[in-house]
Amino acid sequence: MIEYYYKKKEEDTIEKLDNFIKGCWINVVGPTKEELDFLIEKFALNESNLADGIDIHENPRFEIDEKRVYIYLTCPTNKIKHEYDSSFLIIYSKDFFITIAKNSLEIFDKILNSKTKFSTFSKSKNMTKILFLISRMFEKAVHKILKDTKTNRAELDKLKNKDIEKLITYEDQLNTYIASFGGIIGVYSRILRDKSVKFLKKDEEIVEDLIIDLNETLNLCKQTLKTISNMRTYYSTKLSNDLNKTVGLLTLVTIFISIPTLITSFYGMNISLPLQNSSRIIPILGGLTLGIFAIFALILKKKKII
């Protein structure tokens, strides 16, 4: 799908166009081979770079080919099953601005709609919007994980299997984010350093601030990941201790049951035994059993087993 967006000077929102005009934003989602061939021919694009652009696992990077700037970035998404983020491609040129992604992503839903206000509609301004939104989306996702983690940490003794499964999912998500952050920060820095994208001074300062924000979010990711790891270790240790206590209790019950069983089994033999003809044999054996229990319990208590 290829869509064209443009903003008229007298308006502060964008509208969708039927065809390409100079200065418009071209948004491409899940392109077919025919659509890719059209883009390659129409805008003289690199076929290999476009193929990388629709790979959701492509690493963030910055390339220049034939005066076209290819910027590969990653943003959080919940639209792709079993994925926490997805890569997309920005193509920046003098005459056009193109974004390409294999799937429809939240970042473009937030920008390319009739409710988003555009004070200006320039390529560099649109680039700044995307970079800003990527940073905020990562920050929001990490803060949500941190909030849930703190809630679970406050109730460690009440954690259940489903809570641990959720923490493991968060751990996987944070690892995915961390793997992307290094490349994203590098791309942001390269965009500023290369000067291929002509920013206004104010927008340059915004991107510089975003680099600081991304580094802070990266550190927050690592701290949250460490907290989750500690919580899982605590939970595993607690389960192990509870299992040991249960096994120990069952062992003691078995031993206590075996004592009267052993004594009564002797008197079930067809041989001559002391007091076997006494009318008080049952209370005597009962008292003997209780005495053995008491001695055994004192030994266990002395050794701090119970």
**What pLDDT shows up at residue 147?**
84
Q: What does the pLDDT average to over 182-205? A: 83
Q: Is the pLDDT of residue 83 over 70?
A: yes
**What pLDDT shows up at residue 20?**
80
Q: Parallel, antiparallel, or unpaired for β 68-76 and 61-65?
A: antiparallel
Instruction: Give every strand in the sheet of 97-101, ordered side by side.
Output: 15-17, 2-6, 25-29, 97-101, 85-92, 68-76, 61-65
Q: Are 140 and 132 in contact (CB under 8 A)?
A: no
Grade residue 15 by pLDDT with cuts at 50, 70 and 90: confident
**What pLDDT shows up at residue 231?**
75
Grade residue 239 by pLDDT with cuts at 50, 70 and 90: low
Look at 229 and 274; give whichever has higher pLDDT. 229
Look at 20 and 218; give whichever has higher pLDDT. 218
Class of domain 2-239: alpha beta
**What pLDDT shows up at residue 72?**
92
Residue with tokens 């076929």: 47
CB burial readout 21-47, b (16+ within 10 A) else e: eeebbbbbbebeeebbeebeeeeebbe
Helices then strands, counting H and E runs in the chain, come out as 7, 7
CA distances from 194 to 63, 190, 220, 264 (A): 10, 6, 29, 92
CB burial readout 178-193, b (16+ within 10 A) else e: eebbebbbebbebbee
Residue ranges of the chain assigned to CATH 3.30.460.20? 2-239
Structure tokens at 48: 């290999």
